[in-house]
């Protein structure tokens, strides 16, 4: 979770050719993500190392919150961390104020890592359906990773399809919220977009959405247009994967109150 290191890919993913527009440079719409892989026998030592690092951050007045998540499905020996939403300039400040804690991370946590990857993720509100009143930290998040086809026009096809899905969700007042982010500065093999869906517990996760996603879309656009939309989206994708993470309060860094 060393904020200074640019050696890593993504927790989610990433479009290598994506460039930020100058008009967006001052927007607080960027999240930094880290994912750590730990050997099962070293979990306790690793977690103690994270806590030591968080203590150092607090002592040096780091103001950015780092939310921690444990992977509940998929590879369960992974931990994810996220800080946002920030402007790009905020990360320069974070680099400076957290630098004194680099040595703590290297000595207390690094020895127990099998690997660490990182990425930036930029909000895509036009692709998302996230009511403003949902601000509380969810107990669980479903994480869906999208890797696009190498075919020309795949990014445009994906975004246009997701815009239509989001518009349908808004129009129908669909009950299942979700947010989409586009990744930047990820390494080879990383996904291009990530979709996050919050759940308050496993019961809510198991119940799913009613109606289901495509039934909701069909109710807005009709059967034929929905099939066309699904086909366009599928053709734009190379790979899709999904896992569920649980919020870890003990490993979360929250700036101390003055």
113-157 tens-digit pLDDT: 999 999 999 999 999 998 766 557 899 999 999 999 999 999 999
Q: What is the pLDDT of residues 176-189, one digit of tens each?
A: 999 999 999 878 77
Report the predicted TM-score, pTM, of the whole model to 2 decimal places: 0.87
Nearest Cα neighbor of 180 from 110, 103, 128 is: 128
pLDDT at 25: 67
Query: Where do we find the tokens 């590879």?
Result: 75
Which distant-in-sequence residues (6+ apart) come within 8 Å of 173 by Cβ? none
Q: Lowest-confidence range among 26-30, 33-37, 210-214?
A: 26-30
Say which residue, 13 or 163, is predicted with more confidence: 163
Measured between alpha carbons, how far is 162 from 147 in angstroms, rounded to an integer? 14
Please say whether the dihedral angle defined by the alpha carbons of residues 61, 62, 63 and 67, taken in this order, is positive or negative. negative
The predicted-structure confidence for 145-169, as pLDDT tens digits, reads as follows 999 999 999 999 999 999 999 999 9
Q: Can you read off the two tokens belonging to residue 20?
A: 């930020």
* Mean pLDDT across 78-105: 96
Contact indicator for 196, 141 with CB cutoff of 8 Å: yes
Give the chain's domains with CATH numbers.
22-121 (3.30.70.100), 125-244 (3.30.70.100)
């Amino acid at each position: 979770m060393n904020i200074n290191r640019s050696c890593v890919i993504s927790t989610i993913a990433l479009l290598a050719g994506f460039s930020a527009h100058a008009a967006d440079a001052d927007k607080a719409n960027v999240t930094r993500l880290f994912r750590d892989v730990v050997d099962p026998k070293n979990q306790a030592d690793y977690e103690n190392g994270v806590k030591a690092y968080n203590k150092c951050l607090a002592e040096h007045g780091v103001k950015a919150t780092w939310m921690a998540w444990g992977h509940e499905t998929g590879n369960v020996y992974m931990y994810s961390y996220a800080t946002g939403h920030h402007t790009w300039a905020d990360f320069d400040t974070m680099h400076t104020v957290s630098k004194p804690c680099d040595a703590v991370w290297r000595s207390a946590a690094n020895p127990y890592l099998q690997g660490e990857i990182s990425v930036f993720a930029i909000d895509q509100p036009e692709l998302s359906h996230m009511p403003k009143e949902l601000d509380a930290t969810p107990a669980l998040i479903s994480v869906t990773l999208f890797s696009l086809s190498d075919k020309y026009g795949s990014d445009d096809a994906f975004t246009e399809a997701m815009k239509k899905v989001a518009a349908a969700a808004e129009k129908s007042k669909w009950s299942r919220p979700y947010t989409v982010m586009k990744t930047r500065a990820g390494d080879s093999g990383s996904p291009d977009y990530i979709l996050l869906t919050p759940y308050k517990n496993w019961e809510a996760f198991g119940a799913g959405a009613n109606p289901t996603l495509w039934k909701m879309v069909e109710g807005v656009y009709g059967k034929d247009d929905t099939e066309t939309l699904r086909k366009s989206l599928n053709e734009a994708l190379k790979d899709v994967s999904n896992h569920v993470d649980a919020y870890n309060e003990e490993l979360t860094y929250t700036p101390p109150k003055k």
